[in-house]
């Protein structure tokens, strides 16, 4: 069976990067965090790009980076930023590449707790109210991912990754 990219999607703070890294290790695949790739390529974080150039400029950069990655034949695991899956162009790129998309469906309160305690700046979620509105707006689009894996504050990273791997195997069989 052809190895296809696996994209981990979901709201900020749901655990995409940690899951992507552990899943890639478990599957013996490469892992890329799209936000980290953009930071290396542009010498600015997504937050800095959004603050200085606006969200539209960042989304354009994000789509370009994803397109380049997928066109290079990448078949590892990629963590897509919280808003990356919301962009139709990115969903098309992933679909056309045959990628399997996994939505980490975490409750808002779990995400907010992680957003609040993280060191990184989240320009799209400066307040709890704005974050909740964004969370609610994005839910219907996250639901279009190939796989949904519900997660909560009681899940260990290891058990979550085992469930993600099992869900991927069910879809592939």
Return the pLDDT at 173. 81
Q: Cα separation of 74 and 72, whole Å?
A: 6
Return the pLDDT at 68. 97
pLDDT confidence bin for 1, thresholds 50/70/90? low
Can you tell me the mean pLDDT for 17-34?
96
Three-class DSSP category at 35: helix
**pTM (2 decimals)?**
0.94
- 105-126 pLDDT, tens digit per residue, is 999 999 999 988 887 777 788 8
Return the number of other C-beta atoms located less than 10 Å from residue 153's C-beta.
Answer: 10
Does residue 154 register a pLDDT over 90? no
Q: How far, CA to CA in Å, does 20 sit from each of 17, 48, 60, 76, 124?
A: 5, 24, 23, 9, 22
- 45-92 pLDDT, tens digit per residue, is 998 999 999 999 999 999 999 999 999 999 999 999 889 999 999 999
Average pLDDT, the chain: 93
The domain 6-172 is placed in CATH, from the list 3.40.50.300, 1.10.10.10, 3.10.20.340, 3.40.640.10, at 3.40.50.300
């Amino acid at each position: 069976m052809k190895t296809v990219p696996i994209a981990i999607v979901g709201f900020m703070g749901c655990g995409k990067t940690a899951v992507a890294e552990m899943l890639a290790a478990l599957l013996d695949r490469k892992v890329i965090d799209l936000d980290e790739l953009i930071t290396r390529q542009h010498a600015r974080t997504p937050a800095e790009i959004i603050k200085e150039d606006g969200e539209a400029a960042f989304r354009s950069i994000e789509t370009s980076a994803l397109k380049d990655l997928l066109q290079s034949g990448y078949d590892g695991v990629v963590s897509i930023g919280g808003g990356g899956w919301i962009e139709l162009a990115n969903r098309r790129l992933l679909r056309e590449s045959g990628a399997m998309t996994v939505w980490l469906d975490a409750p808002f309160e779990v995400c907010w707790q992680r957003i609040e305690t993280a060191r990184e700046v989240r320009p799209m979620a400066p307040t709890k109210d704005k974050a909740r509105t964004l969370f609610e707006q994005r839910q219907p689009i996250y639901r279009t991912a190939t796989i949904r894996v519900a997660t909560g504050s009681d899940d260990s990273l290891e058990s979550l990754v085992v469930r993600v791997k099992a869900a991927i195997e069910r879809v592939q069989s």
